[in-house]
Structure 1
Amino acid sequence: MRELTDHQLMLLVRSKQSEALSILYDRYSSLVYSFAWKTLKDESVAREIVQAVFMRLWTTKSVYDPDQGRYSSWLLTITRNITTDWLRKRRRDTAPLVQVEPEQLAQIPDHVTATPEAALLNSSTKDQIRSAYGNLSAQQIHLLEHFYWQGYSISELAAIYNQPIGTVKNRLHQTLKILRRHLVAEGEQS
């Protein structure tokens, strides 16, 4: 089996033949480790990244296409994505969260506006957004907050909500559509 190409081994991995994954691990684990270590400068985390990359190979439905480039390039793209996700998670986990109540937010002065008309327009826009936000369910509000304000990726949200990535993308799209529709309606009433 060791004489098989990377593409052939990946096809075997997709059919859950663990020996094929073991051979790919032997061939590429040092490459994945060195990339992760150079990026993170932490041996234990680099080892975790190696495990995550090869676990992704075992569980993913995506297929390596030899016509698109070398296997090592494809594998390093997966490594880079997992490393980036790890960095985002660490940054989010270590960032202090400040809870701000809507009443407190309303008391924060806006930037100095040049004219009273501009101040009125800004205040009107805020009111429209608050009103449109009121048309969303608590679940939709949480989704927006997680994605836009807390920086979660779509794949992280899929894991949090225990839903497929496509479902999370669709929910986010539908939520934005509702928000947009109510913002337009609010703007026409003003």
Structure 2
Amino acid sequence: MPMQTETSDGCRWSDEEAMERVASEDDAQAFTFLVHRWRGAIERLCMRMLGDATGAQDAAQDVFLRLYIRRSDFDPERGRFSSFLWRMALNRCYDELRRRRANGEHEKRALELMQAVPGRDPTLKAVMCSEEGVLVRRALSGLPEHYRAVLVLRHYQGMKFREIAEILEVPEGTVCSRMAEGLHLLALELSTLREHARDGEGGTDAGKRV
């Protein structure tokens, strides 16, 4: 059963009901309801896919613009509103990643993430957590998009394999195989990044001792 949420004026709509009102009546209140309900989740997805907050906010705004423009494309008989919106958000991220690669921005962003790794600090635990987070973000940014999407939806959005399969419009078995392969590639990428970080730290310490 679709989940219903009560609006500020007491209306109770499911996502599907709200989207139907947007599609059939251009209902501004229903559209605002959907934006408020989903904006945070879509921004978080875009953040994980793109790796930066500003780009994520811009992408999320574009997603809701596309949602309104393509409001008549939603068909509740073909799937849930949430799957329709997640798919639209992923496609927007794919477009942005392709644009960045074409403009040479992907390598620049990866360098910025590495430069953001903090140096040594008395609060070692906090620093290590922060550093590890940066390394994971960079490792994710280096994965092919179809692996990154599955990892983000599964581990950061907490989705089940069947939900991811519905969003990506692929068999559930394909999602499982992409998950396994993506985790393997992520582990390899993290190992390489950690090794580079250790080498850089050792070189810095050696320079200080000279």
Q: TM-score with structure 1 length normalisation?
A: 0.46
Q: TM-score with structure 2 length normalisation?
A: 0.42
- Between structure 1 and structure 2, the one with the greater Rg is 1
